[in-house]
Amino acid sequence: MIAGKKAGIVSTGRALPVVRLTNFDLEHMVETSDEWITTRSGIKERRIISGDETNSGLSEIAARIALEKAGLKPEEIDILIVATVTADQLLPSSACLVQAKLNAHRAAAFDLAAGCTGFLYGLTVGQQFIETGAAKNILLIGVDTLSPIVDWTDRNTCVLFGDGAGAVVLQRVEEGRGILASKMYSDGTKAELLDIPAGGSKRPTTVRTLEERAHYIRMNGPEIFKFAVKIMVESTTNVLELCGKKPADLDFIVPHQANVRIINAACKRLGLSDSQVLVNIQRYGNMSSATIPVVLDEALEEGKIKQGDLLTLVSFGAGLTWGAAVLNW
């Protein structure tokens, strides 16, 4: 293969925890019902880490699959990016723990925190190193293990999230393929819409923060919903315009899987049909940075995405952050 200058995703892998938590299981934990969760989110079940499953452990499994498919050895990785907000520990980064597990000793390893947009931020960051020639092989992992930090007494949030990891290898690809356009966006003035107030350096863990349940995710659902629909439409249209395309040209949109109602509302405004939208939220819930690489990996395995397909990946999350990218597969 003669490599062009563009960066592209050359392989994918995924890892999901063993334990499935269904809506019926949740009915025994909080005041909710399968019908309530399904109609408001599209989620039927999610995976939850247990035993010795960890953020870095799921990352390692997903990474080994992606590396094998790309025919790469761990020591050939130049940069290892882990997009996550739920590293095993506060220090060091999850990326360094994954590096040790893989023995990717040549890699520069770092975490990238952009909420649920982490994978798309990582994709754009990685793209720059590949296109400048500063790196040849990048391993990008989107992983989040949110189950330990959701408030299992808050029925408005705990039903929405799940754990998982997806990995991709980025390299230069043939001319005309790969990432055609990508954009990252942030609006820090809306930070309070989705946050974890304590546990950082401003409010370290104390008896009081524990009593206030300030170590769990807090979310303003309706505001996030409106924001998400709006930016999905805007950023998808914008990145497509950058490469002279429109939504109708898309083979698939690969949206962040936060809520099927957000996906449907945005896709309706973009004029996309159901067959153009990749969705797996019913099985996994919102896995934060892992949603897009996992849904991509599954769609490739099922043979849905084919070489030459035009895709837009689009995501949004805490920060607020959002991002979109156009790929010619």
220 classed as catalytic: no
328 classed as catalytic: no
**Is 232 an interacting residue with respect to other proteins (CB under 8 A)?**
no
Binding string, residues 302-321; x marks residues near other proteins by CB under 8 A: --------------------
Residue 39 CB, shortest distance to other proteins, in Å, is: 7
**Is 225 an interacting residue with respect to other proteins (CB under 8 A)?**
yes
Of the residues 72, 104, 193, 265, which one makes contact with other proteins according to CB under 8 A: 265
Q: Which residues contact 54 (CB under 8 A, 6 or more apart)?
A: 88, 145
Of the residues 43, 194, 229, 267, which one makes contact with other proteins according to CB under 8 A: 229
Q: Report the sign of the C-alpha dihedral through residues 278, 27, 288, 40, in that order.
A: positive
**Is 43 an interacting residue with respect to other proteins (CB under 8 A)?**
no
Please choose, out of 22-30, 117-125, 215-223, 277-285, the segment that lies near other proteins by the rule CB under 8 A.
Answer: 215-223
Residue 252 CB, shortest distance to other proteins, in Å, is: 24
With respect to other proteins, which residue has the nearer C-beta, 170 or 233?
233
Active-site annotation holder among 256, 259, 267, 328: 256
Residue 48: which of 286, 316, 298, 301 has the closest Cα?
286
**Is 40 an interacting residue with respect to other proteins (CB under 8 A)?**
yes
Q: Report the sign of the C-alpha dihedral through residues 48, 52, 56, 60, in that order.
A: negative
Residue 261 CB, shortest distance to other proteins, in Å, is: 5
Q: At what angle do helices 260-270 and 221-242 cross, to 10 degrees?
A: 40
Amino acid at 247: P
**Cα(205)–Cα(219) distance, integer angstroms:** 20
Residue 256 CB, shortest distance to other proteins, in Å, is: 17
Place of tokens 């000793």: 105
286 classed as catalytic: yes
With respect to other proteins, which residue has the nearer C-beta, 63 or 260?
260
With respect to other proteins, which residue has the nearer C-beta, 215 or 230?
230
320 preceded by a cis bond (ω within 30 of 0): yes
Interface residues for other proteins in 96-115 (CB under 8 A)? Answer: none
Residue 220 CB, shortest distance to other proteins, in Å, is: 9
**Is 223 an interacting residue with respect to other proteins (CB under 8 A)?**
yes
With respect to other proteins, which residue has the nearer C-beta, 15 or 228?
228
Q: What angle do CA 48, 51, 52 make, to 5 degrees?
A: 105
Binding residues for other proteins, how many (CB under 8 A)?
Answer: 11
Please choose, out of 99-107, 131-139, 224-232, 316-324, the segment that lies near other proteins by the rule CB under 8 A.
Answer: 224-232
Token pair in block for residue 104: 């990717």
Please choose, out of 187-195, 205-213, 225-233, 310-318, the segment that lies near other proteins by the rule CB under 8 A.
Answer: 225-233
The CA R_g of the chain, rounded to the nearest whole Å, is: 19
**Is 222 an interacting residue with respect to other proteins (CB under 8 A)?**
yes
The length of the chain in residues reads 329
With respect to other proteins, which residue has the nearer C-beta, 41 or 147?
41
Summarize as ranges the residues that interact with other proteins (CB under 8 A).
39-40, 221-223, 225-226, 229-230, 261, 265
The catalytic residues are 116, 256, 286
